[in-house]
């Protein structure tokens, strides 16, 4: 019974974090956006220190029409030999145009949780830790609403189960929704 209670408690913490992230996304996107564009990034990547392969998904929500700042909820997933590492968080990004021809360069910082899952199954959480993160990258347009991106992300766990500093790289597609 004690082991079952521990699993239920960990599952409840996991559900609460998802509800918080979804609530923040909903509250930010429910306001008026005027000429602002919502960006979606989907791509593959790898963690450099442990050679774990995985992916990245994020939504970039503009905060202002005057300043190129975005709030970006993200999730990444890396796996190797049955051990999964899932950074889940929120970052504040500054995006600047590279030139009149197009493209952006961006950087930012944020925080969130780092979930570590072990062998027993896909829903068994063996650890959930707070983390800080920083990221930077470039985006280039392929068409009017579509483009590609490449970025690097640093993250560090407060409880340090995964090592001192972790770096990951991702590349993929970015899609712009809304705007003028």
Classify 52 as helix, strand or coil: strand
- Among 16-25, 97-106, 114-123, 153-162, the range scoring the smallest mean pLDDT is 16-25
Spatial distance between the Cα atoms of 107 and 98, rounded to a whole number of angstroms: 13
Residue 118 makes CB contacts below 8 A (sequence gap 6+) with: 82, 83, 124, 126
As beta bridge partners, residue 139 has 104, 149
pTM of the full structure: 0.73
- Among 29-43, 76-90, 91-105, 147-161, the range scoring the smallest mean pLDDT is 29-43
pLDDT greater than 50 at residue 4: no
Nearest to 153 by CA among 28, 54, 80: 54
Residue 97 makes CB contacts below 8 A (sequence gap 6+) with: 68, 103, 104
Spatial distance between the Cα atoms of 176 and 113, rounded to a whole number of angstroms: 27
């Amino acid at each position: 019974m004690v082991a079952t209670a521990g699993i239920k408690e960990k599952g409840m913490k996991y559900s609460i974090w998802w509800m918080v992230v979804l609530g923040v996304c909903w509250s930010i996107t429910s306001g008026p956006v005027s000429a602002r564009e919502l960006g979606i990034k989907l791509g593959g990547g790898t963690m450099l220190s442990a050679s774990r392969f995985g992916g990245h998904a994020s939504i970039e929500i503009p905060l202002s029409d005057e300043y190129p700042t975005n709030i970006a909820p993200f999730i990444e997933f890396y796996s190797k030999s049955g051990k999964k590492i899932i950074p889940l968080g929120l970052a504040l990004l500054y995006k600047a145009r590279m030139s009149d021809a197009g493209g952006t360069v961006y950087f930012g910082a944020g925080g969130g949780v780092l979930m570590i899952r072990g062998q027993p199954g896909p829903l068994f959480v063996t650890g959930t830790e707070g983390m800080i993160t920083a990221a930077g990258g470039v985006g280039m347009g392929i068409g009017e609403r579509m483009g590609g991106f490449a970025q690097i992300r640093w993250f560090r766990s407060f409880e340090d189960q995964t090592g001192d500093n972790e770096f990951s790289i991702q590349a993929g597609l970015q899609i712009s929704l809304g705007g003028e």
